[in-house]
Amino acid sequence: MRSFAILLILALGLCWGQSSDESKPASSNVMGTEYPRVFADGRAAFRLKAPEAQKVQVDIMAKKYDMAKGEDGFWTATIPPQVAGFHYYRLVVDGVNINDPGSETYFGVGQQFSGIEIPEPGHVDYYETKSVPHGEVRQRRYWSATTQQWRRCFIYTPPDYDANQKARYPVFYLLHGFGEDERGWVTQGRLDNIMDNLIAEKKAVPMLVVVDTFVAAKPGEEPMVMRQDGRRPNIGGNIGETFREVLLKELIPMVDSTYRTLSDREHRAMAGLSWGGLTTYTIAPANLDKFAYIGGFSGSTGGFGRGNVDVKTMQNGVFADAETFNKKVKLLYLSIGSMEGPGAKNFHEALEKAGIKNVYFESPGTAHEWLTWRRSLNDFVPRLFQ
């Protein structure tokens, strides 16, 4: 009986390849570094050499943890279990925020931050690199006459794109959130791994995914970027107007003329997370000659988190004629983390009551964070172009 209990404990400890008291370097570390380290139970250990410092802390998810100084000049701390997923963090040395030299940095909240991956319990690998055919993420520069600037987008091409020269592909335009940029979905979001795995499992059709930024300003306009003081610029009711011009007049034509695309509306989708979702809900329904698939991950809830809103009058009345809308739109998708509040669910129910077909997805146990959006992407993509 005692032997069985020991074996059971060992088996439970090996469910993630280690016991609860063992740790391993975070997957988000700089190559070859041992810290930060993560434990199977979600704890994380940090270390920094700062022999002259008087006080060092870990600041993760706006919560600070004191680090202890050793005789060797290294400061260390092991923090309590964190929610699974990706988290921005910094180290605070004598009141000054710095990025952890052991971690990769990621652009979020308008600045470069260290980041750490806390693995999900169990065998969750839909966003991990697997032994499957891999597509590519290509960087593309293009000139915008609207903004009078060079812009950059990233384009995911499926595994058979170069080999199958006669094939043409549907296109999915995907936006990041406020304070991030076009790198977000590629780095924090694990876009290419999610797409590769879905296509390999035949859950999704091969497609191009174009990731651009909604930050766009004409000469003389104030760009919609996060200020260093944390305040947002005054954008009034002009949400995404300049980006709409870039998207419709420059980005889509560039993609269609450069890549082998299916360029009709039935083979074009648009979605975004958070502010990118709001931008999507603002642009796509007003341009149904261009898009047949629309999605928002933690995006606009139509005001349903704050009170009663008439669905039929919002968005310039695009939902007023349910029959016409449902014929044009093959998918209207809303998702949210279960810890974000009821707004998206209320919006979903109000749309259904108005006769507007839509799909609602809720990520269990997550908030306004990348794990919500990875799960949303993983659920959204298989619904496209089927």
Q: Which domains does the chain have, with CATH numbers?
A: 25-118 (2.60.40.10), 136-383 (3.40.50.1820)
Which DSSP string corresponds to 355-379?
A: T---EEEEETT--SSHHHHHHHHHH
Encoded tokens for 214? 């909604």
Are the beta carbons of 209 and 191 closer than 8 angstroms?
yes
pLDDT score at 121: 84
Side chain identity at 152, as an amino acid letter? Answer: R
pLDDT score at 225: 64
Query: Cα–Cα distance between 29 and 116 in angstroms, integer?
Result: 7
pLDDT score at 12: 37
For every one of its 386 residues, what pLDDT tens digit does the chain have, with 9 covering 90 and above? Answer: 334 333 333 333 333 444 457 899 999 999 999 999 999 999 999 999 999 999 999 999 889 999 999 999 999 999 999 989 999 999 999 999 999 999 999 998 888 999 999 988 888 899 999 999 999 999 999 999 999 999 999 999 999 999 999 999 999 999 999 888 999 999 999 999 999 999 999 999 999 999 999 989 899 887 766 555 555 554 444 568 899 999 999 999 999 999 999 999 999 999 999 999 999 999 999 999 999 999 999 987 666 555 567 888 888 889 999 999 999 999 999 999 999 988 889 899 999 999 999 999 999 999 999 999 999 999 999 999 99
Q: Which distant-in-sequence residues (6+ apart) come within 8 Å of 170 by Cβ?
A: 205, 207, 208, 261, 262, 267, 268, 269, 384, 385
Helix (H, G, I), strand (E, B), or coil: what is residue 180? Answer: coil
Helix (H, G, I), strand (E, B), or coil: what is residue 265? Answer: helix
CA atoms within 13 A on the CB side of 147: 24
Report the predicted TM-score, pTM, of the whole model to 2 decimal places.
0.89
Encoded tokens for 329? 């739109």
Task: Please report which residue ranges of 42-178 form alpha helices under DSSP H.
Answer: none
Helix (H, G, I), strand (E, B), or coil: what is residue 337? Answer: strand
Helix (H, G, I), strand (E, B), or coil: what is residue 335? Answer: strand
